[in-house]
């Protein structure tokens, strides 16, 4: 005879779920409304404000010394480099007498990113292990709302959208291909695949498999590729000894940095586009955008960069004569190229060095090599996305990246997970 179990929803989790879901809704073009409209303004500025209030709420609930120290540590870890990037940009702006619109964009972009990191760290320290389930529940809810809108506006024909391999599905991409949220789902799937058995969210959980289906339907090929590549790297090196794992983390950082520099050199020189075109690969108009922005850069030691926010602001001044049929696309779709343009040769290398080498070293020194290794996997996932998309500029993706790095470093505990597993079996 089965016992009736009481289902309890923590007020803290519900509050987080509601505000995260609202914010994620605001990241989707089908819900935002037209740029500049009241609806767009409310979502664009209101959602970060809601998350900031949520962060303050979590700070008020978690006043113990350890949590406070971890929170301050990670806020500094994520925000200080961003502030230094802005400081460097200020120097560039002063030297080159940059116009005010470019400066304002650089400042606003930095503030949004720092706010994302601040909120991510505070939410991670507040939700602890529950953050995995809350995040997936919020994202799946937004995808569900998007699907519902698709059915309302298209009727039964919307069923074709659930087969991403069918060309008819392309007609419904605005309901299924929610770029930023798809990458967040991919990150959640990666985390669950790596450490799921040590958390409260297991692979047997229905929410996990719903998220997998949502991810497949979204059909973000670079996202799927990033999950597969990162997970294979984990399988290859996860069972290595402590010293070997430390060597792999350092080696990955060094090799990754070299690859990033080589990749940008190919983009700036035009070789990358030429090689792909000769191989018959459709660049979907990226070649036009790359060619336009190549006029602002050179791959040389003395290229100092244009300052933060330059790329996104420059798109505001492009015309059809510049980008032809790509004039409506207001993003570079290559974060490595974007960061190189804005930070310059040295600045770009320092940025890559920080994420792939220095940050894992700092986490390893404070929390151990195993956690540093897992956090590096999250960074690798993000870096794969940066090759062909704008994930570095996605506020909520960056927030979730900071959430999971903080969560793994501070609250991931394999022993605790095993205890949870034994407790669950005992109470079946």
Find the helix or strand (DSSP H, E) in which 164 lies.
none
At 425 the pLDDT is 45
Instruction: Give the distance from CA 427 to its chain's centroid.
Output: 37
* 87-127 residue pLDDT tens: 999 999 999 999 999 999 999 999 999 999 999 999 999 99
**pLDDT tens, position by position, for the chain (428 residues)?**
334 334 445 778 899 999 999 999 999 989 988 888 999 999 999 999 999 999 999 999 888 999 999 999 999 999 999 999 999 999 999 999 999 999 999 999 999 999 999 999 999 999 998 999 999 999 999 999 999 999 999 999 999 999 998 989 999 999 998 999 999 999 999 999 998 777 766 666 788 899 999 999 999 999 999 999 999 999 988 877 777 788 889 999 999 999 999 999 999 999 999 999 888 888 888 999 999 999 999 999 999 999 999 999 999 999 999 999 898 888 999 999 999 999 999 999 999 999 999 999 999 999 999 999 999 999 999 999 999 999 999 999 999 999 999 999 999 987 655 544 443 444 44
Taking the whole predicted model, whether its pTM rises above 0.85 is answered as: yes
Nearest to 400 by CA among 203, 186, 197: 186
* Beta-carbon count within 10 A of 274 CB: 12
d(CA 233, CA 247): 14
d(CA 256, CA 254): 5
Residue with the two structure tokens 């602890």: 128
Average pLDDT over the chain, rounded to an integer: 91
Contact 251, 343 (CB under 8 A): no
At 416 the pLDDT is 58
């Amino acid at each position: 005879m089965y016992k009736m179990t009481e289902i309890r929803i923590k007020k803290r989790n519900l509050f987080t779920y509601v505000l995260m879901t609202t914010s994620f809704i605001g990241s989707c073009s089908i819900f935002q409304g037209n740029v500049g409209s009241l609806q767009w303004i409310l979502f664009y500025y209101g959602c970060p404000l809601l998350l900031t209030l949520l962060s303050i709420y979590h700070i008020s609930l978690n006043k113990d010394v350890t949590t406070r120290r971890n929170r301050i540590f990670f806020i500094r870890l994520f925000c200080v480099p961003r502030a230094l990037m802005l400081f460097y940009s200020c120097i560039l702006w002063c030297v080159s007498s940059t116009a005010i619109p470019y400066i304002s964009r650089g400042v606003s972009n930095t503030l949004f990113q720092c706010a994302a990191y601040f909120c991510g760290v505070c939410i991670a320290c507040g939700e602890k292990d529950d953050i995995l389930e809350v995040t997936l529940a919020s994202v799946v809810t937004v995808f569900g709302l998007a699907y519902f809108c698709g059915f309302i506006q298209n009727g039964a024909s919307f069923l074709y959208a659930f087969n991403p391999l069918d060309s008819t599905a392309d007609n419904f991409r605005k309901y299924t291909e929610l770029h930023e949220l798809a990458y967040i789902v991919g990150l959640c799937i990666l985390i669950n695949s790596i450490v799921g058995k040590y958390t409260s969210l297991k692979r047997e959980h229905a929410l996990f498999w719903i998220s997998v289906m949502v991810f497949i339907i979204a059909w973000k090929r670079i996202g799927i590729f990033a999950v597969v590549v990162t997970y294979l790297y984990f399988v290859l090196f996860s069972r290595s000894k402590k010293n070997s794992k430390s060597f792999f983390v350092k080696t990955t950082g060094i090799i990754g940095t070299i690859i990033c520099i080589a990749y940008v050199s190919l983009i700036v020189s035009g070789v990358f586009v030429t090689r792909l075109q000769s191989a018959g690969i459709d660049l979907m108009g990226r070649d036009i955008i790359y060619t336009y922005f190549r006029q602002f850069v050179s791959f040389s030691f003395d290229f100092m960069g244009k300052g933060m926010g330059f790329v996104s602001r420059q798109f505001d001044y492009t015309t059809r004569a510049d980008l032809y049929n790509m004039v409506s696309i207001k993003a570079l779709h290559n974060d490595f190229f974007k960061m190189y343009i804005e930070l310059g040769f040295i600045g770009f290398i320092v940025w890559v060095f920080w994420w792939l080498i220095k940050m894992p070293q700092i986490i390893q020194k404070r929390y151990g090599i195993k956690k540093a290794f897992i956090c590096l996997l999250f960074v690798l996932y993000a870096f794969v996305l940066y090759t062909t998309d704008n994930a570095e500029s996605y506020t909520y993706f960056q927030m979730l990246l900071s959430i999971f790095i903080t969560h793994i470093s501070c609250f991931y505990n394999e022993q605790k997970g095993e205890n949870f597993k034994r407790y669950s079996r005992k109470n079946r």
